[in-house]
Structure 1
Amino acid sequence: MDAFSPILTPVGLAAFLFFLLRLSLSHLNTTQTTKQPRPLPPGPVALPVLGNVHQLPQMYQEQTFAEWGKQYGEVVYAKIFQRPVLILNTLRAAQELLEKKSSNFSDRPRLILLAELMGWDNVVTHLKMGERHKRHRKWMHDNFQTKSALDGYRTVQLRETYTFLAGLLDTPADFLSHINRWSTGIIMDITYGHQIASLEDPYSRLAHQTTTETVRGGSPGSMLVDFFPLLKELPAWGPGAGFKRNAFRIRALVEELMNAPYELVRSQIAAGTARPSFTASLLEETFARGGPTAEEADDIKGAAGAIFAAGSETTVTVLSNVLLALVMHPEAFARAQAEMDRVVGRARVPDLDDRGSLPYLDAVLAEVLRWRCPVPLAIPHNTRTEDSWNGFRIPGDTMVVPNCWNMTQDPAAYPAPHAFRPERWLEMDPATADARHPRRIVFGFGRRLCPGREFAEANVWLAAAGLVALFDVRAPAGVDVAGEYHSGFVSQPKPFACEIRPRGADCADLIEKARTALAV
């Protein structure tokens, strides 16, 4: 979905132009009466009303921001209509502002489309700073950042990975469906204690449809209604309100996604049949005092929904990128496979215990995150009060956009950034490799750092290791895989051709043997 697609037809346009006139007069009055003690960071010249909107393309805006960075510097000041926007084009700038000044740079802008219209208003990724955000972060920390919690998920991770590998044996052409089922299976079990047999599972289909429609619906903080809140009041039946009708359609899916699995867990707890899960543990705490209040129930639903929404779509994208990289770069796949055979052998499926002994595979996964940044512009941050950087003034209530894509393409940190070179990570000393690892970029910054990053990395490692160990992957003969990507909040690869074949007749037996050992 284009970030600034035209959504206004004649009636709405008249109202919209009236808003622009008011804003223009306000801008002129402010310009005449307000003195700025310090200069704003450099950036492209903004028009009085439009700001820099006219300079933004409808797609791949991260590339335009990168070009601005070359001209104006690593921190660029711009305006989207009258909204001040700070674009951070380097990891250094992101760390100095979003991490070192996290108390001021960790808020969220008002996300009208996603939170207020679509209904994603109770998920930690969209919550503004405050007690509710702290409560959700604590739940996430307790369930995804302690060793005991992560160790407790290993059985689920292995089981779903073995199911994924078995699916590739049966129907390799459906690899994207198997990737979706794998990701959904892990998240649904961890979050709700629900095991799915296939993507035809009703909860799985609901979850997949909801996240897909949300991503297509627009990027956080980038739609026209996010900059002109009065557009939210347009009647849904009226001209120019198609965005609102679409948002309400998605809102119904979001509500069902939040409510249906929550009620399933609640009924299972009452019947004494609930399996261990994130939602069950939070609900059980409330039953000691009579059950959750309406506010607690909304918080639990939102926290669980955040795990699914944040953990499924991006994980699917990353593993799809891994497969694409292996298809496009057979020399990297051959080297990863040779390392796997040397370290693990051909008599078993690799486990997380093998991770430390497979440095080249880790290098491949690091390079995939760098080569194809899964969320190019992240979710925007927002300043709470006026601040400064390198002598420049940063206004309060400024939207802050980390250009994660450009950070992963920085030639100073990654020579020949457009080349896929896993070897670059083995050529660095350990301290440099750690400092430049894309996990420091793609999982966010400061108080918005993804709490499930270790869990997500382990999931991708297991699936990739099994793929390398058991299968040969290549482009079909005579097919040139271009590796093109959709523009959007999540940078998903466009459909690509891929041949996946088992390396030997014993692959099915190896998977079954691993499953049997897991069940003991």
Structure 2
Amino acid sequence: MSSTPIVLCTCFAFLVVSLLGRVLGRRHTAPYPPGPKGLPFIGNMFDMPSAYHWRMFTEWGRTFGDMVYISILGKPIIILNSARQATAMLDKRSSIYSDRPVSPMGGELVGLKHMLVMAPYGPQSREHRRYIHQSLGSKTSIEKHHEVIVEEQRKFLKSLLGSYQDIATEIHKTEGAILLKITYGYTIQEEDDQVMALAEKLTDILVPVVAPSVWLVDAFPVLRYLPAWFPGARFKKIAAGMRRTLHNIVDVPYEMTKQKLANNVDLPPNLVAECFQKEGRVDTEAEFNIKWAAAIIYAGGGDSTVSAMHSFVLAMTLYPDVQKRAQAEIDTVIGDERLPSFKDREHLPFIEAIVKEILRWRCPGPLNLPHRAAKDAIHDGCFIPKGATIIANIWAILHDPEAYPNPDTFDPSRFVSETGEPTDVPSPYSACFGYGRRICPGSNFADASIFIWCAMILAVYDISKAVGEDGKIIEPSGEYTSGLASHPNPFECSIVPRSEKARRLILSIDE
């Protein structure tokens, strides 16, 4: 007798019991946080937008406060719309709120539970963070990668004199080249690099399974036992394809580096080689952790940095007075005989302020990756149930008009005085790189890359609005994409050398 009817009946029974249990809920004395009223059984499923979730979350924050409760098919979700709540919950009570939501779709079926971005909090995730920290976790550890970062940024400057495709593509190629080299010691091919193309596919996997919407199997995990041919079980075929791609992303570049190390090929400093050297004898478990730790750096680490760099170009296009002040600082400190270096950073406070304002004005990740409550808790007088998904609305936090007056205006001077002294305005770093034990382990690398990129391009190029064939100025829309990392929509701009001397300096690169 076929087992399919038994499986289907079992799934249906579990689904009903699970749904009833979630709807009826557990007994508790404190109220849930306020939020929009949902419908019976399905909750706020129809209130959730399909994109730009942070906009709706911000509106809810204005109506219900800085901690908002919603539920989808009985799954509780807590949205934090203020720095006060995010810090109090995710930083100060990180022992409770450092886990990731259980995801049968992304975690189990696709296999992302092994990748730090979605891994449960525990020994494996701590081991991954240890490997990343020893290579990228501190400003000191980043210094050994300065040469690679500067080398690729110099290539980028020179590419802008040629017939490049568009600025976003060139930024992406540059950052990808840096990440592959510092992770695997791998040098990309100039055209159609297959390893880079493979890395880019990770976003196609992460976005649909991490975004704050719910696959039915995430709401009712028992559905993962349905046969793939069953109506409504198409998610299993989707997951199987994603899983194959994910393992290629993880395995291919790692095996290439492992083979080069075995053949004593001389490689630049990179995460995989450093892990092998420090571990000595690498057993099966260590090798598994090393390759998964490396994958999140090279495949997932660059998207937010690329977004920030692209936002910088947009900001300079829209705010020419900011650009002029930054270039005046560079000319005073460095002159026009050389390009900026990392050693100049402490003497360039306005460039430093630009980096902060980029991350605040158009934060690359408008929503913090979701956390999960490890147990029932009372927070600020409200009940937070075990298993609740916690999402910090980074966009709302960094556009709080009380902390950042005129938040929609790009204004680096909010972070630095006319004399170059830092102000008491909150740094956006505490929000845009995450909270508590889930803070981004590559934040120091991102900060270093964005700083030197901004300084170097401003030293030799002017960025302005493009002019059409009809002689009219082309205004950028200023709109952004939705997703885990939000990028500017394509826009035209003019990027030309500041002077003939600047052009000669660019041409002299690598001569």
TM over 0.5: yes
Structure 2: gaps of 5 or more residues: 1-8, 468-472
Aligned equivalent of 1:79: 71
Partner of 1:103, secondary structure, is coil
Q: CA deviation digits over 1:67-99, x for unaligned, max 9? A: 111122111122122111111100111111100
Letter in 2 for 1:344: I
Aligned mates of 1:332, 1:241 — CA distance in 2: 53
Alpha-carbon RMSD across the aligned residues, in angstroms, is 2.5
Aligned mates of 2:454, 2:233 — CA distance in 1: 44
Aligned mates of 1:212, 1:137 — CA distance in 2: 20
Say whether 1:256 aligns with 2:226: no
Aligned mates of 1:373, 1:148 — CA distance in 2: 25
Deviation at 1:173, TM superposition (A): 4.7
- Structure 2 contact 183–270 (Cα < 8 Å) conserved: yes
Say whether 1:474 aligns with 2:469: no
Aligned equivalent of 1:223: 214
Partner of 2:369, secondary structure, is coil
Say whether 1:283 aligns with 2:276: yes
Deviation at 1:309, TM superposition (A): 3.0
Q: Which of 380, 395, 404 is matched with 2:385 structurally? A: 395
Deviation at 1:284, TM superposition (A): 3.9
Aligned equivalent of 2:57: 65
Say whether 1:376 aligns with 2:374: no
Q: CA deviation digits over 1:403-451, x for unaligned, max 9? A: 1111011011011111222222225973623xx1111111000000112
Q: CA deviation digits over 1:33-59, x for unaligned, max 9? A: x53222222222232211111222222
Aligned mates of 1:246, 1:329 — CA distance in 2: 44
Partner of 2:166, secondary structure, is helix
Q: Which of 121, 128, 135 is matched with 1:136 structurally? A: 128
Partner of 2:296, secondary structure, is helix
Deviation at 1:324, TM superposition (A): 1.2
Aligned mates of 1:15, 1:181 — CA distance in 2: 50
Q: Which of 471, 474, 498 is matched with 1:503 structurally? A: 498
Q: Percent identity?
A: 35
Say whether 1:455 aligns with 2:445: yes
Aligned mates of 1:266, 1:195 — CA distance in 2: 15
Deviation at 1:152, TM superposition (A): 0.6
| 1:35 to 1:197, Cα distance in 2 relative to 1, 3 A | closer
Comparing 18-27 and 412-421, the one that deviates more: 18-27
- Structure 2 contact 417–423 (Cα < 8 Å) conserved: no
- Structure 1 contact 111–221 (Cα < 8 Å) conserved: no
Q: CA deviation digits over 1:174-215, x for unaligned, max 9? A: 32221111111111111001112435222112112x134225
Deviation at 1:235, TM superposition (A): 3.6
Aligned equivalent of 1:485: 480
Aligned mates of 2:146, 2:50 — CA distance in 1: 42
Q: CA deviation digits over 1:1-39, x for unaligned, max 9? A: xxxxxxxxxxxxx999987754453356x35xx532222
Partner of 1:85, secondary structure, is strand
Letter in 2 for 1:418: D
Aligned equivalent of 2:324: 334
Aligned mates of 2:66, 2:12 — CA distance in 1: 34
Aligned mates of 2:190, 2:209 — CA distance in 1: 28
Partner of 2:42, secondary structure, is coil
| 1:354 to 1:127, Cα distance in 2 relative to 1, 3 A | same
Structure 1: gaps of 5 or more residues: 1-13
Q: Which has the higher helix share?
A: 1
Counting only pairs closer than 5 Å after superposition, residues 11-26 of structure 1 correspond to structure 2 as 21-26=16-21
| 1:306 to 1:353, Cα distance in 2 relative to 1, 3 A | same
Say whether 1:432 aligns with 2:424: yes
Aligned equivalent of 1:409: 399
Aligned equivalent of 2:283: 292
Aligned mates of 1:415, 1:108 — CA distance in 2: 33
| 1:133 to 1:215, Cα distance in 2 relative to 1, 3 A | closer
- Structure 1 contact 53–81 (Cα < 8 Å) conserved: yes
Letter in 1 for 2:101: P
- Structure 1 contact 340–358 (Cα < 8 Å) conserved: yes
Letter in 2 for 1:213: D
Letter in 2 for 1:272: N
Deviation at 1:498, TM superposition (A): 1.6
Q: Which of 325, 328, 340 is matched with 2:315 structurally? A: 325
Aligned equivalent of 2:160: 168
| 1:485 to 1:231, Cα distance in 2 relative to 1, 3 A | farther
Aligned equivalent of 2:353: 363
Comparing 325-334 and 213-222, the one that deviates more: 213-222
Q: CA deviation digits over 1:83-136, x for unaligned, max 9? A: 111111001111111000011111111133333233322222211111112211
Aligned mates of 2:222, 2:457 — CA distance in 1: 50
Deviation at 1:248, TM superposition (A): 2.8
Aligned equivalent of 2:82: 90
Aligned mates of 2:27, 2:203 — CA distance in 1: 46
Partner of 2:114, secondary structure, is coil
Q: Which of 186, 192, 204 is matched with 1:194 structurally? A: 186
- Structure 2 contact 101–370 (Cα < 8 Å) conserved: yes
- Structure 1 contact 113–247 (Cα < 8 Å) conserved: yes
Aligned equivalent of 2:3: none
| 1:216 to 1:132, Cα distance in 2 relative to 1, 3 A | closer
- Structure 2 contact 128–293 (Cα < 8 Å) conserved: yes
Q: Which of 92, 97, 103 is matched with 1:100 structurally? A: 92
Aligned mates of 2:15, 2:243 — CA distance in 1: 29
Letter in 1 for 2:485: V
Partner of 1:126, secondary structure, is coil
Aligned mates of 2:257, 2:354 — CA distance in 1: 39
Aligned mates of 1:43, 1:107 — CA distance in 2: 23
Deviation at 1:356, TM superposition (A): 1.8
TM-score under structure 1 normalisation?
0.89
Q: Which of 98, 113, 118 is matched with 1:121 structurally? A: 113
Aligned mates of 2:441, 2:255 — CA distance in 1: 25
Aligned mates of 2:89, 2:259 — CA distance in 1: 46
Partner of 2:232, secondary structure, is coil
Comparing 131-140 and 405-414, the one that deviates more: 131-140
Instruction: Count residues in correspondence.
Output: 495
Q: Which of 236, 247, 250 is matched with 2:239 structurally? A: 247
Aligned equivalent of 2:204: 213
| 1:77 to 1:284, Cα distance in 2 relative to 1, 3 A | same
| 1:91 to 1:270, Cα distance in 2 relative to 1, 3 A | same
| 1:17 to 1:329, Cα distance in 2 relative to 1, 3 A | farther
